Structure 1
Amino acid sequence: MLKLSQFWILLTACITGWATPLLAQRTISDARIEYKLELPPEQLQMEAMFAGSNMIQYIRGNLSRIDMNFNVVNYIYLINAQTEGLITLMDNHGDKYLIRTDKKSYEEDMKRFQTTTFTDQAETREIAGYKCRKAIGKLADGGTFDVYYTVDIIPENRYYNRRFLNLKGIPLEYEIIMKSGSKMKAIATKVDLSPVPMSIFDVPKGYREITSDELKKIRG
């Protein structure tokens, strides 16, 4: 039979064991995550052109922003989950274009990603100071991509990035499937959870508004 003192030691240990992961997990409303971008091996001949390419994910409440900087061309995506609005900005060697996605197109796009599934794997690694678990994402068209995510920080706004609607945490390393079928990799280098200024989500001036069809022609 356990003595009373032994019982309290055991109970304390159990409570501590249960409470630790709960306390470690943090729901966030603001975040700034910096990623470095790595080209797939078959495109390393273009490495010099894309050297230093990076991406920044901003989150503040219902607002989010993604900056993708490829040196030769830069993209900014401004997303408002509350109004279901998306604005795409492209700067191609100083030629600046703005494309607005209407609510209907926004909802259709979201539906495509709502069917994405993530299957956890045994592999783990530490990225930007966070322990991450590997998962395999499967898209509606059957395509797959690897992702490492942490459950230590959970975004209040699950629509901050449509790609990860069904992921159980924040992705700190993942593959991006390109139009060619190759996979580019995004790897987090810094996670900043301090408040993000509202000005980050302002639409910058100097961009010419065009339609999505016109953008497709420009992209070729």
Structure 2
Amino acid sequence: MKNMMIRWSLSMVALGFVFNLNAQSFEGVITYKITYENLPEEMAPYASMLPSQSITTMKGEMTKLEQPLSMGMKQTTIMDNAAETGVMLMDMMGQKMAVVLDQESRKEMRGEDDVPDFEYVNETKNIAGYDCKKAIMRVEEDGQEIVLEIYYTDKLTSSKNSSLPGLKGFPLKYSTSTGQFIMTLEAESVEKRKVSEDEFSIPDGYTHMDFNEFQKTMGAMGGE
């Protein structure tokens, strides 16, 4: 249980970088459905606890990803690209934790030295009302090549300073590998609207900690 939640948390932080750096001019809310492939055997008993939806709210340099979990648990990741900082809010098992992500931890999690290799494919798909083009992304993990699919649109303004350098638009369908399983997000709806800055505030009642302290707290809560 502990290791599953830590791996899940890291994958959500990584996705926060992708959306934060690819949509600095988009303001609104995108709702994604989440599916999983190749879940390891030890995670099978907890598969129902993994979220099936991610709600992404964006305004300027700010991004918020919300993932409702089972049993009333919730994870929210807030990224500030201008300050190069972020925070991961975990509300689970009676604990409210605000895990602070400073510049060094962001760089480590993002893997800035790993430049993805894109292949653009003559294939399209309509996603959430947008005609999207397909790209294949190849990444190396543990000496093996992993092939992931992306469908992107050029109708949503993207930033040149992207964590996916070379991608020619904003991803409305995107797969990522955690090293343990593959997670795919596909947009169900795109809503352009004004977003209040209060959306990115940290609520009261959370205990602030760094990621090492978060791992220790998860260990104390029990279960490998």
Query: Shorter-chain-normalised TM-score: which range?
Result: 0.7 to 0.9
Mean CA deviation greater in 207-216 or 106-115: 106-115
TM-score, structure 1 length as denominator? 0.73
Matched, 1:62 2:61: yes
| 4+ residue runs over 6 A deviation | none
Bigger CA radius of gyration: 1
Summarize the Cα distance change of 1:41–1:152 in structure 2 as closer, same or farther, 3 Å threshold.
same
RMSD: 2.9
Q: What is the SS of the residue equivalent to 1:33?
A: strand
Question: Contact 1:34 / 1:191 at 8 angstroms: preserved in 2?
Answer: yes
Q: How does 1:139-158 map to 2 (within 5 A)?
A: 139=139, 141=141, 142-156=145-159, 158=161
The answer for the alignment partner of 1:86 in structure 2 is: 86
What 5-or-longer segments of structure 1 have no aligned partner? 1-26
Percent identity, aligned pairs only? Answer: 24
Cα deviations across residues 138-173 of structure 1 (Å, max 9, x unaligned)? 3364443211111111235855xx4x4542211111
Structure 2 match to 1:137: 137
List alignment gaps of at least 5 residues for structure 2: 1-23
Contact 1:34 1:57 in 2 (8 A): yes
Give the residue type in structure 1 aligned to 2:133: R
Alignment of 1:36-185 (within 5 A): 36-40=33-37, 49-50=48-49, 53-72=52-71, 73-110=73-110, 112=112, 115-139=115-139, 141=141, 142-156=145-159, 158=161, 162=163, 164-180=164-180, 182-185=181-184
| Count of aligned residue pairs for this structure pair | 190
CA distance in 1 between counterparts of 2:200 and 2:161 reads: 18
Alignment partners' CA distance in 2, 1:42 and 1:108:
24
Q: What's the secondary structure of 1:139's corresponding residue?
A: strand
The structural deviation recorded for 1:41 is 6.2
Give the drift of 1:177: 1.6
Contact 1:64 1:79 in 2 (8 A): yes
What residue in structure 1 maps to residue 209 of structure 2? 210
Which whole-Å CA distance do the structure 2 matches of 1:28 and 1:83 have between them?
A: 17
- Normalised by the length of structure 2, the TM-score is 0.72
Structure 1 position 93, deviation (Å): 3.0
CA distance in 1, matches of 2:188, 2:152: 14
The amino acid of 1:208's aligned partner reads T
